[in-house]
A and B are shown apart, each in its own frame.
Chain A
């Protein structure tokens, strides 16, 4: 007789001996143990299968590391390491000067990473600053000032901002914002680092705002109540108690935002003009590392020096963002332990 979970179990009334001990009169012991064994083997293989699936994220991260660096390192066999800083060129007046130029196409490719790194920073830093001001402000407002009902619809709306495809933001920067900024600031480039930074900041405002909001709301009410009991106003509570208490979470959100800004591709590709200049002028046209890959990889011969150089640029961005993400993760984990979430 087989018992399954759903069957109604009908047994004859137990004898006193059976009640005292466990009786398996109607159960074929061999059958049961065979089924047990089958299930055990099945469970074993399912667990191993799920385990392998669980490893995929680690494997993918490892593969990204391996493949970017494998191709990137080959750049050093084609190009002298020193050339990644700059090259000696002869300028128009016939003097030999040291120049920081990225110009992989041509008789002799020039592979200075300086304009690209500088371009990336010139977009990412202003974008992070703008997004920090807007994002932390919004996060604080959502967490402490807004009424519950308002918060409930405002937060998803701000999160929707992160759902806009970046190519659309890039397109609007190109067609719309660039002209507006030029008319406002009378810049010589219509598409420049500042336009790119404005576009990129839109993408990272939701990142900073939601993490700030979550952090501040996770702070225990004791702190708020203590501050109010001492006679602090709401703003003083926010400024002197809640923000210092949640500063690690807010910092982590800014670091994460910075990582996103450095890695953003489509917006900067479309909005910054893509001229690889060495400059600190925010209204100048720049070319970021990400945009360089996006613009050049399509037309490059596999196995050429430029091809490997582009992978090296990719490896550089990956390393940058990897460490920024790692730092943010460590900071958030520490905060979780401290606040015991």
Chain B
């Protein structure tokens, strides 16, 4: 009797173990396939040249450039908003009805399908906001069309929950005694926040920022219609008049790694022949996001350990 119970226990435990293994094997297979097939394609030339011959040869430099610029613009938009939002939630909102509503909204925002953000980007940012800016500024059709600015704005509301939740966690981790000590010295609430709480939660906020950059770089659906281009013969760069400094042009369209991969895999002239380019693009994309993720995870572990030791 006892033997039978133990045997069935063993069987079930091994089943649970094998399920874990299956998930991990899936991850390893994905990484392995991408690494094996992708690393053969990666050369310096592939990374630094433009697509050639109707995108059947050449490199992916414009896509790398576009990905980096759009995620930079995204985090510039999302970080201040998310951090301020989190400060309000932790330090001011308390536990009342409003705080609970905001928290529910943040959770719900995190669960909104990415394609819905894409629709929202078209309906709100481009057709409503952009067209109305054009009307007010008399700029013809400058803002009311797909552009990097709108893609970045759409992505920024997608990553807003990531920023808010990680900042909240970081702010909460600051011990109450530090706050009380500052109050005892006569500091006002905002002085406490800006000089005691924020400096201590900076690593956590940074982790959140890195995670959201990685998330934003990998998303495709929100930018499908808000600013991505199939192919652009130029980089989205503009020279500032009089100063002669080149700057990313947020009103231009751009090429993006994940969109490039999608287009090459589904709508290329010859999807079979361009497979190497597809694997190369996928490899660059996953390396980018994984390096970001790994640095965020190790940063978090490092600061948690340091925090515990104190």
Contact = CB atoms under 8 A, between A and B. Distances in A.
A234 B6 CA distance: 9
A156 B299 CA distance: 13
A137 B8 contact: no
Contact of A57 (B87, B164, B293): B164
Contacts of B24: 154, 157-158
Contacts of B219: 165-166
A133 B15 CA distance: 10
Interface residues of B, number: 86
Contacts of B232: none
B137 interface: no
Interface string A47-60: 10111011111101
Contact of B20 (A158, A293, A314): A158
B23 A164 contact: no
Contact of A138 (B10, B19, B190, B215): B19
Nearest to A233: B9
Contacts of B105: 57-58, 60-61
Interface string B210-248: 000011011111001100000000000000000000000
B265 A174 contact: yes
A79 to B, nearest CB: 18
B262 interface: yes
Interface in B131-173: 157, 160-161, 164
A84 interface: no
Nearest to A165: B218
A317 B113 contact: yes
A293 B92 contact: no
Interface in A72-108: none
Contact of B22 (A134, A154, A164, A302): A134
A122 interface: no
Contact of B220 (A46, A57, A61, A167): A167
B261 interface: yes
A235 interface: yes
Contacts of B12: 235, 238-239
A294 B123 contact: no
Interface in A271-299: 290, 293-294, 297-298
B197 interface: no
Contact of A163 (B107, B214, B266): B214
- Greatest chain B CB density within 10 A among A67, A236, A239 is at A67
B84 interface: yes
A145 B16 contact: yes
Contact of B87 (A50, A239, A269, A294): A50
28 contacts: A42-B190, A53-B84, A57-B164, A58-B101, A68-B119, A133-B19, A138-B19, A156-B297, A158-B24, A161-B23, A165-B289, A166-B220, A168-B261, A168-B282, A170-B265, A172-B33, A172-B34, A172-B282, A206-B23, A260-B111, A265-B221, A266-B220, A266-B221, A293-B115, A294-B224, A298-B224, A324-B111, A325-B111
Interface of A: 5, 39, 42-43, 46-47, 49-51, 53-58, 60-61, 63-64, 67-68, 70-71, 133-135, 137-138, 140-142, 145-146, 154, 156-158, 160-161, 163-172, 174-176, 202, 205-206, 209, 233-236, 238-239, 256, 259-260, 262-266, 269-270, 290, 293-294, 297-298, 302, 310-311, 314, 317-318, 321-322, 324-326, 329
Given A5-B187, A298-B225, 15 more contacts: A53-B81, A54-B93, A57-B161, A60-B157, A63-B124, A165-B219, A167-B261, A171-B282, A172-B33, A174-B266, A175-B265, A175-B275, A269-B262, A297-B118, A329-B104
